[in-house]
Amino acid sequence: MTAGLKGRERDQEPRSRGLSKRGRGSYDKDKPPVFTLVDRGSGQRYVVPAKSADESTVRLLLGERQEESLTVYTDGFRAYDPLEDDENFQREAVIHSEGEYVDGEAHVNTCESHASLVRRWLSPHRGVSKDKLTPYLRAFQLRRRILRKPGREALKEIVRTVL
C-alpha cells in the first residue's frame, strides 16, 4: 500500500494484532492487571500483579499497607469507587476522562511514571508469561532500589534480597 492510500477503504481486513484487543486485560485473557502503589512518605514503590482488577483486589492491596489515616490518591477507575464510603481510607481522585490530571495534592503521576518504566523494562523480553510476571517485577524493583546506591551498598542490598 502506498502512503497516499493510507486511511482509505481497503480490499482486505487488517492483520490481527494478537492480544491487543480493546478494553482492560484480565488474567484469564493472558494480560493480568498490574497495580502500582507509591508510598509518598517513604518513596517506596510497589508493582503488584493481580488476578483481577476489582474492589476485592484493591482492598487486599491496601489492607496490607493500612495506617491510622491512609489517603489514597487514585484515577477514575471504577474499582476504587467503594473506597469513598470506607472510613479506613480517605480517597482523592483525578478523573483523566474529564481532563483532570492534578487537583492540589491529588495526582497519580508518580504511579503512571513508574508503570511506564515497568513496561519499558518488560518490553525487551517480548512478552512475559503471566506465571513468570512476579519474578520479573521483583527483579525490576530490586534494580530500581539499587540504582543510585554506591557499589558496596548495592551489593549488600542484592545479597540481602537474594538470601
pLDDT in tens, 85-136: 888 888 899 998 899 999 888 999 999 999 999 999 988 877 788 888 999 9
For residue 137, name the pLDDT band (cuts at 50, 70, 90): very high
Cell 473506597 sits on residue? 83
**pLDDT > 60? residue 13:** yes
pLDDT, one tens digit per residue, over 66-87 is: 566 688 899 988 888 888 888 8
pTM of the model: 0.73
Domain ranges of the chain: 25-127
* 25-127 belongs to CATH 3.90.1200: no
Which residues neighbour 66 within 8 Å (Cβ) at sequence distance 6 or greater?
88
Distance CA 142, CA 161 (A): 8
